A = this chain, B = another copy of it.
Amino acid sequence: MAISLSLSELASRIDGKIICGKAGSLFYGMASLDTAGPSDISFLGNEKYLPQFHATRAGSVIVPEGFEFKTDGPALIAVSNPSLGFAEVVRHFAVEPKPFTPGIHPGAHVAPTAKADPGKVCIHAGAVIMDDASIGEGTEISPNAVIQTGASIGKNCQIGANVTIREGCIIGDRVLIQPGAVIGSDGYGYEFSEGRHIKIDQVGIVEIGNDVEIGANTTIDRARFGKTIIGEGTKIDNLVQIAHNVVLGKHCLIVSQSGLAGSCRIEDHVIVAAQSGIAGHVVIGEKAILSARSGATTSLPGGITYSGKPALPMKEEVKLQAHVRRLPKMLARIKALEAALLKSSSTDL
């Protein structure tokens, strides 16, 4: 991690022009306009953050070219794209990713029948790799993660601490699983008989494609039979529930605390915003967007943005909600009509 950056080094690194401030001033970190202090670099990426800019305590701010100069504010550097410039600052201060160091910690528990080449994988203390599981080269298993019997992890994956991957599940390459996630828990299926719920065996697996990311404490159930499928490149946030036999397409985003019920099918490039729910057995078409807290109770065609529960095309739902807010006025108009009619009929008499 770099320790500091002078204003002139900053200007040269991001190909910007100092429009205010001393070339030798030193900065030690980076932060948003809201939270930056005098030793931090920040940026103004969008005019809507001007109030935050005027209130910022940042030592230096990256601003767009043509930005109006102010005498007593922070040091300013103008660039064509402040957001990209700031990304460069982030890289400067970022902890360099630790190089991958293969090895199996003596405190890890790797079953004799597991396939894990100590020269090519990294398995930390307390991790448990059970019988017949296999770990691909370049993959890191964090402390206390559990890879159960026969599970297969691809190459260059990062499996977080305290993650559980249950029996037989298949994980692709370059998959990133945040701590505490559970892959392959039993699907939730029972038959009701004589007043009791009898468990239906859940004998399938979960199969996760390449380049998938799975959030902290998210749960993905194994299929009743066959596979629960997470398509290549899909990114799942924290605390998401994915039930048995869901087929989730490629390059989808499933945002935090959403739930996908059993056997629903989500096509490619779908976005499900936070705290949404999708009913069992429905199909959500390609490139559909469900806004936050939507509840999809039926299949929905792709390419459209939905909201509400039941989820409707967003335009309709926004209009309905506007009508609801207008209800007190509607009631007043009905009363006025009633009064007018009463009056006109009395007049008639």
Answer whether A34 and B247 are a contact pair too, CB < 8 Å, given A178-B186, A344-B345.
Answer: yes
Of B90, B179, B190, B226, which is within 8 A of A201 by CB?
B90
How many chain A residues sit at the interface, stated as a range, is 35 or more
Report if A199 contacts B (CB, 8 A): yes
A28: interface (CB < 8 Å): no
A327 lies within 8 A of B324 (CB): yes
Q: Does A107 interact with chain B (Cβ within 8 Å)?
A: yes
**Does the CB pair B225–A90 fall under 8 Å?**
yes
Find residues 287-303 in chain A having any chain B CB closer than 8 Å to their own CB.
292-293, 295, 297
- The reply on A16 being an interface residue by CB < 8 A is no
Cβ-defined contact, B255 with A188, below 8 A: yes
A148 within 8 A of B: yes
Contact A182 B180 (CB under 8 A): yes
Closest B residue, CB atoms, query A336: B338
Cross-chain contact A217 with B105 (CB below 8 angstroms): no
Judge if A135 is at the interface, Cβ distance under 8 Å: no
Whole-angstrom CA separation of A201 from B86 in the bound complex = 13
Report if A64 contacts B (CB, 8 A).
no
Alpha-carbon separation in the docked complex, A30 to B204 (Å): 10
In the complex, the answer to whether A182 meets B109 with C-beta atoms within 8 Å is no
Cβ contacts A to B, 21 pairs, < 8 Å:
A30-B225, A32-B226, A36-B226, A90-B224, A90-B225, A95-B203, A162-B162, A162-B164, A162-B182, A182-B238, A188-B238, A197-B235, A197-B253, A199-B235, A241-B256, A256-B261, A333-B338, A337-B337, A337-B338, A341-B341, A341-B344
Contact B95 A251 (CB under 8 A): no
Cβ of A62 within 8 Å of any chain B Cβ, yes or no, is no
Q: Verify if A78 is at the interface (C-beta below 8 Å from B).
A: no
Q: Which of A109, A195, A213, A338 has the most CB of B within 10 A?
A: A109
Q: Specify the chain B residue showing the minimal Cβ separation from A297.
A: B292
A213 in contact with B199 given A182-B178, A340-B345 (CB within 8 Å): yes
A35 touching B251 by the CB < 8 A rule?
no
CA distance A149 to B185 in the complex (A): 26
A161 and B143: CB pair below 8 A?
A: no
A297 and B30 CA atoms in complex are apart in Å by 28
Residues on B with beta carbons closer than 8 Å to the beta carbon of A167: 95
A208 within 8 A of B: no
Cα A126 to Cα B145 in complex, Å, equals 10
CA distance A148 to B142 in the complex (A): 9
Of the candidates B109, B128, B164, the one whose C-beta lies within 8 Å of that of A180 is: B164
A196-B251, A277-B292, A295-B293 known; A185 and B160 CB under 8 Å?
yes
Which listed residue, B199, B257, B277, B328, touches A323 by the CB 8 Å rule? Answer: B328
220-238 of chain A: CB within 8 A of chain B: 221, 224-227, 229, 233, 235, 237-238
A160–B166 Cα gap in the complex (Å)?
9
